[in-house]
Structure 1
Amino acid sequence: MSLYDLLVIIHVFAAILGLGPGFVMIYIVTNAKDMRQLRHAYHIRNRIHHFVMVGGTLLLLTGLGMGIMNPYLFSQYWFLISLVLFLVALAAGPLVLSPRAKPIKEILADDRIQEIPDTYEVLAKELFFYERMTNIIFLIIILLMITKPF
C-alpha cells in the first residue's frame, strides 16, 4: 500500500466520521421540550462537533496531501471546486455560524430560564438555515468527489 492509498483511506474515514455526524446536529436539538432537554441536547451536539472538527481537519490535510502527491489534481475542476467549497464551508464556522450561535449559548447558560423562550426559536431557525446551507455544500463536495464530473 502506498502513502497515497493510505491518504485516500484516511480521507474516506474522515468524511464518514467527520461529516456524517454533522448532518444530524440540527436534528439532535429539535425535539427538546423544555430547557433541561435543550441544554442536554446542546451538550450532546457540542460533543459531536468535536468529531466534525477533527474529521474536517483530516479531510483538508489529506485532500491537500493527495493533491501535493499528484499535482494533476490541481488541474481538475472537480478537485478545485471541492477545495474552494470546503474552504467556504470552513470559513462559515467563525464568520456565519458562531455569531449566530453565541446568543443561543447565552440563553442556554442562563439557569433562571426554565421554558424555551420564543427568542430561542427565532435564533435557532436562523442558525439552522445556515447550517443546512453548509450541509448542502458538503453534499455537493461529496457528489463531486464521487462523480468527478469535470
Structure 2
Amino acid sequence: MFYKILVFIHIFSAILGMGPGFVLSLIGKSAKTITELRHAYKIKNRVHIFVMIGGTALLVSGLLMGAINTSLFRMGWYNVSLFLFLLALAIGPIVLSPISKPLKAKIEAHEGEEIPEEYIREGKRLVFYENIESFIFLVIIALMILKPF
C-alpha cells in the first residue's frame, strides 16, 4: 500500500514539477519592453517554485521506491533516469544560474523600455540551455513510461 502511495506521489510530482518547467523558457519570449521582461522574470520565479517542490518530491519518492523495491537499481531505465535527473539538477546551479543571475541584474538596472541587444544574445543562450534541460526531462519521462531496458 505504501508503495502505491509513493507511485501516486511520484506521478503527481512529475506533473507538478516537470509540467511547469517545460514552459519556463517560453515565458520571457514574448516580452517587447523591459517592463514586460521584468514581469516575465517575476512569473518565472513563481513558476520555478513549483518546479523545485515537484522535482524534490520526484527525487525523494523515486529513491524511496528504489529502497523498497531494490530490483529497480538493477534496471537500466531506472539508473539512466536517475543519472539524467541528477545531471538536469546540476545544470541549474552550474549552467543556468551563472547566465540568469547577471541577466536579471542587468534587466533590473536598465533604464528605459528598450530591451538591450546584450540581453537578447544572453537570453537566447539561457533558453538554449533551458531547452537542453527540458529535452533531458522528456527522455526521463519516456524512460519511465516505456522502461525499455
TM-score normalized by the length of structure 1? 0.97
Residue 105 of structure 1 corresponds to which residue in structure 2? 104
CA drift at 1:111: 4.9
Q: Is it true that 1:18 corresponds to 2:17 in the alignment? A: yes
Which one-letter code corresponds to 1:11 in the other structure? H
Q: Is it true that 1:63 corresponds to 2:94 in the alignment? A: no
Equivalences for 1:1-150 in 2 at 5 Å?
Answer: 2-150=1-149
Q: Secondary structure at the match of 1:112?
A: coil
The separation in 2 between residues aligned to 1:113 and 1:97, in whole angstroms, is: 26
Count of residue correspondences = 149
- Identical columns (%): 54
**CA offset digits 1:71-113 (Å, max 9, x no partner):** 0000000000000000000011100110011221111221524
The separation in 1 between residues aligned to 2:110 and 2:119, in whole angstroms, is: 14
CA drift at 1:114: 2.4
**Unaligned ranges ≥5, structure 1:** none
CA drift at 1:30: 0.2
**Unaligned ranges ≥5, structure 2:** none
Which one-letter code corresponds to 1:78 in the other structure? W
TM-score normalized by the length of structure 2? 0.98
Q: What is the CA RMSD across the aligned residues, in angstroms?
A: 0.8
Which one-letter code corresponds to 2:111 in the other structure? R
8 A Cα contact 1:107 1:113, kept in partner: no
